[in-house]
Amino acid sequence: QTIYLKDYTPPAYFIDTVDLDFSIESAGTVVTATLAMRRNPALAAQPLMLDGEELETLDLTVDGKKTAFSATPTRLTVDGLPDAFTLRTVVRIQPDGNTRLSGMYRSKDGYFTQCEAQGFRRITWFLDRPDVMATYTVTLHADQATYPVLLANGNPVASGEEADGRHWAKWADPFRKPAYLFALVAGKLDVLRDSFRTASGRDVQLAIYVEPGKLDQCPHAMAALQKSMKWDEERFGLECDLDHYMIVAVGDFNMGAMENKGLNIFNTKYVLARPDVATDVDFENIDRVVAHEYFHNWTGNRVTCRDWFQLSLKEGLTVFRDQEFGADLHNRQTARIREVRGLRAAQFPEDAGPMAHPIRPESFVEINNFYTATVYEKGAEVIRMIQTLIGRDGFSAGMDEYFRRHDGQAVTCEDFVAAMAAASGFDFTQFMRWYKQPGTPRVTVDGFFDAETKTYTLTCTQANPRASDDAPYLIPLRVALFAEDGSLLPGSERLLQLTATTQSFVFEGIAGEPVPSLLRDFSAPVYLDFDYTPEQLTVLLAHESDPFNAWEAGQRLATQLILDAAAAIAAGRTPTWPASFVDAARKLLQTQAQRGAAFVAEALTLPGETTLAELMSVVDPDALHAARNGLRRHLAEQLEGEFSGLYAGLTVQEAYAPSSEQAGRRALRNLCLSYLLELDTLAVRQLALQQFRTADNMTDQFAALAALANVNAAACPQREQALADFYAQWKDEALVVDKWLQAQSTSRRPDTLATVKALTSHPAFDLGNPNKIYALIRAFGANLVRFNAADGSGYAFMAEQILALHDRNPQVASRLARSFDRWTKFDAGRQAHARAALERIRDHAGLSRDVLEVVTRALGGG
């Protein structure tokens, strides 16, 4: 049952107000919904059809009178209704038995909800679609001792006690909202309170609720929230519209976090942090996710999506906003590098695989399968291109126009772009192709220097074999030209707009053959081919003033070396490594003080195996793995002195702070350690174990653990010691246990699958907790060389895990099934094993729709 964008019709009924009453009892929760409804006069009269799932219907009245209705498990139909009426339904739901973590469910410390995209129908009969917006009042009743905290969206209006030790609380949300933004919480939780005064002088009460005993892990998230509120005022003039802004952290959560109006619910992973339990990267991710959910209050909640095909309207835009916030707060250079690294590792493969879809999909079977890198991260790149084309001021004006036109509405991606066009005067007609086509365009550039006319001509050709036609994209291409000595040619920095399939751009007054720097700052999400010589790339790595393209030059150099080496290894030859690459790496290490430790750490991190695999026609994971690690080992041998020196010299003496300056030093120092461990001498093992034992922060402790976990030698007592000690030290900190699992599931050791299998029956593992599954199983699926083992053992294991989970939690199982996305890129032997595993999943009786859509597409159907 595929759903198509082209079939969209407006709702046949509207809901103006919603009054919900939840009575939380041991036999289940009774939900009484009173809906003020009216017929949509624009459509022909028709029966009312409501969505529902796993609801036990106890009663239904229309305007106070019992009324006939018909119901299937997922649809309730009422006929013969007046134009306006009050519908009251009473249902019982079973949150304790809800293992899907969609709708209302139980987690350790109480009850929580997740309604996006279609979880609200698991709570009550409703028009569960984002273009039906209503104002809500909610009353909760529960046992007072077990559930002292009762929360819902909006403002607290009243509360009191009831018989039998129960109590109640009533909340009212003054803003109209779609059902997917509904939330409630009932539990025993600690709270950290603070406040924020908006630019216009309104006071917003802030609260972060967490499991008892975790208050000391909340201050960072609170500070992040306050910084986000300030940033959105300064950058976009957007103020918080709420009196109360609450964040609740829950340990069992399918995704990262959820922007429910005034009552965000977060995965604990994106709230809890203390220097000894969270890494620098965790601290930064918390900043970004807290900001992301807060920014949704405007981009998502005040202006929401007309239908779920428009998901990127709010997600692409909000990711772009959280990226910009993160760049302003931390380090703009490395933020951009990491965004692109992530895009290439996850989105490019998605765009080339069976689940490829435009950022605005045209059809889906299960919308939960489309909360993807494409909708989120490529979606953010598309928004970034809009800003690149019309400038920061034009973009800000476009945002103002968007809210002026659409505040309070449920709209489409076209509406957003139209506001940008109106504010800037820019014609986005051709640009809309970015919303409509799957696949990553490839831009091939040729440079021609004419000494006679002193001109340099760049000829650009674009193609996207995944697109449904050959029409060209509008591609913003930032370029600059450098002389061979590395100096920027004055006046050569340009923003080219590619609009034709093949197009030339001429630079005048060029004295000698220049080195072109193309796609600066990664100005478009494309593959960029240019026939660079290693010498040209070395010039760019050393001198390009755009840090992204300096980094990119280094990645290109390393990519070529690793791919050549992989081919050599596959052919039974020994790879060789040019001295020039080692020299360039040495120079980076020597200039880290000027270039910044964070940048140098990024520049010396080789491209990942998943990213490299995309560049091979048939992936030989063993050869690729050996090649990449061969280069790492070669660098370690040649630069041992430099790595050791920096390791000693970069020690952070100050008290730990998750600042970008300290984080950069730690990143480079830990990178030095991991290179040194390639030599696997006793001294280095002991150095790593020593760092593991003496570190006063999780960044350094975990870096040592992860590096040791990778040691290949059959016997490595330091490795065993560190893993055992880490678990003993942190077994009661769930998020740290996730790190322990992940260090093992991502290990390059040949026995990793056996370890992962053993860990599935370890007390630390829990099939009911998504974070545990992601850390152990999904991370194993991303371990290119071990998951894609030639004997098919990795595939068979993953199939088993998916089948163990698909019923219990289809969303999480479906994400595991995505591990198979690139199975056709491997050799025939591996493909046969992968096909067998996929067919076994597909043919399983009663397979969840979520998993079925993914495996059907992987097998080439649908």
Q: From the list 259, 602, 620, 738, which residue makes contact with ligand ARG (rule: CB under 6 A)?
A: 259
3-state SS, residue 111: strand
Residues contacting ligand ARG: total by CB under 6 A: 13
Task: Report yes or no: 476 and 384 within 8 Å, Cβ to Cβ.
Answer: no
SS3 content of the chain, % helix, strand, coil (to 5): 45, 25, 30
Task: Report yes or no: 175 and 135 within 8 Å, Cβ to Cβ.
Answer: yes
Provide the mask over 331-370, with x wherever binding to ligand ARG is found by CB under 6 A and - wherever it is not.
-------------------------------------x--
Q: Which is nearer to ligand ARG, 180 or 795 (CB)?
A: 180
Q: Which is nearer to ligand ARG, 114 or 536 (CB)?
A: 114
Q: Rounded to whole angstroms, how far apart are CA atoms 679 and 647?
A: 15
Catalytic residue list contains 293 = yes
Task: Report yes or no: 618 and 825 within 8 Å, Cβ to Cβ.
Answer: yes
Structure tokens at 529: 């081919």
Q: Which is nearer to ligand ARG, 313 or 858 (CB)?
A: 313
Nearest distance in Å: CB 95, ligand ARG: 16
Q: Does 117 bind ligand ARG (CB under 6 A)?
A: yes
Chain-centroid distance of CA 802 in Å reads 21
From the candidates 53, 211, 293, 853, which is the catalytic residue?
Answer: 293
Contacts 24+ apart (CB under 8 A), 833-839: 833/791, 833/792, 833/795, 833/796, 834/792, 834/795, 835/859, 836/792, 836/795, 837/792, 837/795, 837/796, 837/798, 837/799, 838/799
Q: From the list 78, 134, 258, 668, which residue makes contact with ligand ARG (rule: CB under 6 A)?
A: 258
Start-to-end CA span in the chain (Å): 11
Q: From the list 126, 295, 371, 780, which residue makes contact with ligand ARG (rule: CB under 6 A)?
A: 371
Please give the torsion angle defined by the CA atoms of residues 491, 497, 499 and 501, in that order, rounded to the nearest 10 degrees. Answer: 60
- 321: partner contacted, choices ligand ARG, Zn ion, none (Cβ within 5-8 A by kind): none
DSSP 8-class letter at 619? B
- 116: partner contacted, choices Zn ion, ligand ARG, none (Cβ within 5-8 A by kind): ligand ARG
Q: Does 252 bind ligand ARG (CB under 6 A)?
A: no
Q: Rounded to whole angstroms, how far apart are CA atoms 562 and 637?
A: 17
Site for Zn ion in 296-315 (CB under 5 A): 315
Nearest distance in Å: CB 314, Zn ion: 6
Task: Report yes or no: 381 and 524 within 8 Å, Cβ to Cβ.
Answer: yes
Instruction: Measure the CA angle with vertex 333, ends 330 and 334; round to 5°.
Output: 70
C-alpha count within 13 angstroms, C-beta hemisphere, residue 5:
17
- 440: partner contacted, choices Zn ion, ligand ARG, none (Cβ within 5-8 A by kind): none
Chain-centroid distance of CA 268 in Å reads 16
Q: Does 652 bind ligand ARG (CB under 6 A)?
A: no
Provide the mask over 299-338, with x wherever binding to ligand ARG is found by CB under 6 A and - wherever it is not.
----------------x-----------------------
**Peptide bond connecting 183 to the previous residue in cis, omega within 30 degrees of 0:** no
Q: Does 255 bind ligand ARG (CB under 6 A)?
A: yes
- 368: partner contacted, choices ligand ARG, Zn ion, none (Cβ within 5-8 A by kind): ligand ARG
Q: Which is nearer to Zn ion, 318 or 771 (CB)?
A: 318
Site for ligand ARG in 785-824 (CB under 6 A): 811
Residues contacting Zn ion: total by CB under 5 A: 2
Task: Report yes or no: 204 and 242 within 8 Å, Cβ to Cβ.
Answer: yes
Q: From the list 153, 217, 254, 819, which residue makes contact with ligand ARG (rule: CB under 6 A)?
A: 254
Q: Which is nearer to ligand ARG, 122 or 835 (CB)?
A: 122
Q: Which is nearer to ligand ARG, 301 or 662 (CB)?
A: 301
Q: Which is nearer to ligand ARG, 180 or 726 (CB)?
A: 180
Q: From the list 53, 109, 116, 128, which residue makes contact with ligand ARG (rule: CB under 6 A)?
A: 116
Q: Does 767 bind ligand ARG (CB under 6 A)?
A: no
3-state SS, residue 469: coil
**Footprint on this chain of Zn ion (rule: CB under 5 A):** 315, 318
Query: Catalytic residue numbers?
Result: 293
**Footprint on this chain of ligand ARG (rule: CB under 6 A):** 114, 116-117, 254-255, 257-259, 292, 315, 368, 371, 811
